A and B are shown apart, each in its own frame.
Chain A
């Protein structure tokens, strides 16, 4: 199954539209994609996400921490219900990824 994502720019930085399916197989490509955007301010568009797995959640958390360490902006825009519920089943929220986790 093809996983499409788009990349645009906004005032907050490069907008990266997360794929619809962020499962086990999507984890490595997601990590690579994020690595390619390293150093830039980025906005993750989560509006299209329909499935979110543990592996990709870990990648997103690591990315948020990395961006914070490198003093670059990292945000999640328009999280879909699936994205939010995918985090919730693991005991997380979008805000927790960006703030709480980074605050540790």
Chain B
């Protein structure tokens, strides 16, 4: 059994809390008066501090203590959540992350500078306002309590606005002058300690109603004490316990709703389910061969349960892409400042779920795409104004399910791709021949070629010719694809299309010669019989499928299969993006749950196969990489066409 290092547990929790902190800070920058955001940031800090101390991260705890103190002033309304404060707080957050990773390698003076920046940011004047509601006991006057003296004492604490209220006013004949029928609502400005407010009522506190609430700067609405909650908690207790209670409340809610499980365990579980699927396939095969109805029935039950278990297990690995999107807000925030461009990041579809492996590998490609959009796509403010656009550019990051895929789109409203410059650069660097006839979309796609960059100057962000080709490679490695659309003057849209999971897929098992292969079912459009008259007519391999010409390739030829081809060969028509291609096979065996096993390093360079799977009889079937096959088919088609044209000439 895996033993878990408590420090790792803290690091995991800290990573989540730091993310919450960062999101809150970034939101606060846009909504500086939002008390919920301030509370959220404070809670994250408070929990981090407590956990840090508990797990022995003393440097972290000590730093956060000062960080928290600074932010507490914002929480109390004593300092504004200014841009300077947010900037310093974001640096402080990064510093905390560095301390958690390796405190020994962090320069202590950097922390001091950040804390000094935080202190400077909160030193500005700000009018805090405390809202106090109180109702004295009915017999207060009889006991010698004079509300006038209490109110005078309150006035001595700071500028006061007092309103006296009563509930129902009794007729004058029913009034007992010795009883008190009044309640008061006050607003006190200035740097008032809430405990000092409570101390005013020290000797009568037990029998009275008292609520003390902080209100953000800029004044508060008059509040009637009569409207105060009848069972208000002791104000000091409430104030002292607030962070703990709120943090604990969040933690308890989280604990009730979720369970933190190490990712390795999920991987192990997935492997076990994979093995179970294979074992189940073997059982099904044996059951069918024995012709025993009872065994077949059990095998079918197990198949159903295995399928259900597979779906549930895969569900546990699904992570909302919002966890990834959240990181980019900081990236856009920082890049906006570095580039001097005003960019508003709009995200949608954060709830869209993807396999955690896919999410993990998506981070770098998305960073590259966002950097490129901000560096190359989005114009400087003057240029935008000249084009009739607003100063602030919009960068949209969205995710949505599309069938068995997830589409992630990065769209900007910038200048769009400069097709002429891309072509010039491609010709100059030998990527395409000078004057080559290419559609505009094809020219634009050249930005994904290795070593390609049109940036006039190399910046720290982009222009070094690395990045976009890495994006393409990574996405293709995830069995995904990239769509690119650009309109000059209006912006660029890059869409990444990715499979939902990489672990188990539904596959179509086919036979080619003596070998068996699996084709991802999501890519299969239809299966037809290969017409007898289908052939390489005029050097071109096309099938007429209901009036549409679909190129096809014979997998027997591709795999150099031995022996005679089946008399009635089948064509599996697969698609990738807009392109369709027919794959000629000897036999279609049927659907199967395909547990994907990665190919060894020795075979990793094979483009035709994306992996392998173990069949019910224990043999191995290779999984066809449809996207690469389609590309290969296209090239094959082009070369044949060139040959034919060459011969004809």
A interface residue numbers (CB < 8 A to B): 24, 27-28, 31, 34-35, 38, 53-56, 58-59, 61-63, 65-66, 69, 89-92, 96, 101, 104
Contacts of B146 in A (CB 8 A): 54
Give the A-B contact count at a CB cut-off of 8 A. 75
What is the distance, in angstroms, from B343's C-beta to the closest C-beta of chain A? Answer: 50
Nearest B residue to A54 via CB reads B147
Contacts of B170 in A (CB 8 A): 62, 65
What is the distance, in angstroms, from B141's C-beta to the closest C-beta of chain A? Answer: 6
Q: Which of B176-235 contact A (CB under 8 A)?
A: 177-178, 180-182, 184-186
What is the distance, in angstroms, from B239's C-beta to the closest C-beta of chain A? Answer: 24
Whether A59 pairs with B175 at a CB distance below 8 angstroms is: yes
Q: Which of B169, B182, B185 is the most central at the interface, judged by chain A CB atoms within 10 Å of its CB?
A: B169
Whether B148 pairs with A31 at a CB distance below 8 angstroms is: no
A27 to B165, CA, bound (A): 20
Q: Which of B113-168 contact A (CB under 8 A)?
A: 141, 146-148, 151-152, 162-166
Q: Known contacts being A28-B177, A54-B180, is A63 close to B148, with CB within 8 Å?
A: no
Nearest A residue to B136 via CB reads A54
Contacts of B184 in A (CB 8 A): 90-91
Q: Known contacts being A55-B178, A90-B164, A101-B166, is A62 close to B147, with CB within 8 Å?
A: no
Contacts of A62 in B (CB 8 A): 169-172, 174-175, 181
Contact with B164, one of A34, A55, A69, A92 (Cβ below 8 angstroms):
A92
Whether A90 pairs with B182 at a CB distance below 8 angstroms is: yes
Chain A contact residues: over half helix, strand or loop, or mixed?
A: helix
Whether B178 pairs with A91 at a CB distance below 8 angstroms is: no
Q: Which of B70-123 contact A (CB under 8 A)?
A: none
CB of B173 within 8 A of chain A? yes
Contact with A31, one of B165, B166, B173, B185 (Cβ below 8 angstroms):
B173
User: What are 13 pairs between A and B in contact, CB < 8 Å?
Assistant: A31-B172, A31-B173, A58-B175, A62-B169, A62-B172, A62-B175, A63-B172, A65-B169, A65-B171, A66-B172, A91-B184, A92-B164, A96-B164
Whether A104 pairs with B169 at a CB distance below 8 angstroms is: yes
Contacts of A101 in B (CB 8 A): 166, 169
Q: How many residues of B contact A (CB 8 A)?
A: 26
A66 to B175, CA, bound (A): 11
Q: Known contacts being A90-B164, A91-B184, is A61 close to B147, with CB within 8 Å?
A: no
Contacts of A65 in B (CB 8 A): 169-172
A104 to B167, CA, bound (A): 8
Q: Which of B555-571 contact A (CB under 8 A)?
A: none
Contacts of A53 in B (CB 8 A): 148
Whether B177 pairs with A91 at a CB distance below 8 angstroms is: no
Contacts of A54 in B (CB 8 A): 141, 146-148, 180, 182
Q: Known contacts being A58-B177, A58-B181, is A90 close to B148, with CB within 8 Å?
A: yes
Contacts of A90 in B (CB 8 A): 147-148, 151, 162, 164, 182, 184
What is the distance, in angstroms, from B228's C-beta to the closest C-beta of chain A? Answer: 15
A54 to B150, CA, bound (A): 12
Nearest A residue to B175 via CB reads A62
What is the distance, in angstroms, from A98's C-beta to the closest C-beta of chain B? Answer: 12
Q: Which of B162, B165, B177 is the most central at the interface, judged by chain A CB atoms within 10 Å of its CB?
A: B177
Contacts of A89 in B (CB 8 A): 148, 151-152
Nearest A residue to B155 via CB reads A89
A54 to B183, CA, bound (A): 12
A96 to B164, CA, bound (A): 10
A34 to B177, CA, bound (A): 13
What is the distance, in angstroms, from A11's C-beta to the closest C-beta of chain B? Answer: 24
Q: Which of B572-616 contact A (CB under 8 A)?
A: none
Whether B177 pairs with A31 at a CB distance below 8 angstroms is: yes
Q: Known contacts being A54-B146, A90-B164, A91-B163, is A61 close to B169, with CB within 8 Å?
A: yes
A61 to B166, CA, bound (A): 10
What is the distance, in angstroms, from A36's C-beta to the closest C-beta of chain B? Answer: 11
Task: Given A54-B141, A62-B172, A91-B163, output 16 extra A-B contacts at Cβ < 8 Å.
Answer: A27-B177, A31-B173, A38-B173, A54-B180, A58-B180, A59-B172, A59-B177, A62-B174, A66-B172, A89-B148, A89-B152, A90-B182, A91-B162, A91-B185, A91-B186, A92-B164
Nearest B residue to A101 via CB reads B169
What is the distance, in angstroms, from B457's C-beta to the closest C-beta of chain A? Answer: 67
Whether B182 pairs with A58 at a CB distance below 8 angstroms is: yes
A53 to B147, CA, bound (A): 10
A62 to B177, CA, bound (A): 10
A91 to B164, CA, bound (A): 5
What is the distance, in angstroms, from A37's C-beta to the closest C-beta of chain B? Answer: 10
Q: Known contacts being A31-B177, A58-B175, A58-B182, is A91 close to B151, with CB within 8 Å?
A: yes
Nearest B residue to A60 via CB reads B172
Q: Known contacts being A58-B182, A90-B182, A101-B166, is A69 close to B171, with CB within 8 Å?
A: yes
A96 to B182, CA, bound (A): 14
Contacts of B164 in A (CB 8 A): 90-92, 96
A40 to B604, CA, bound (A): 104
Nearest B residue to A34 via CB reads B172
Contacts of A69 in B (CB 8 A): 171
Contacts of A96 in B (CB 8 A): 164
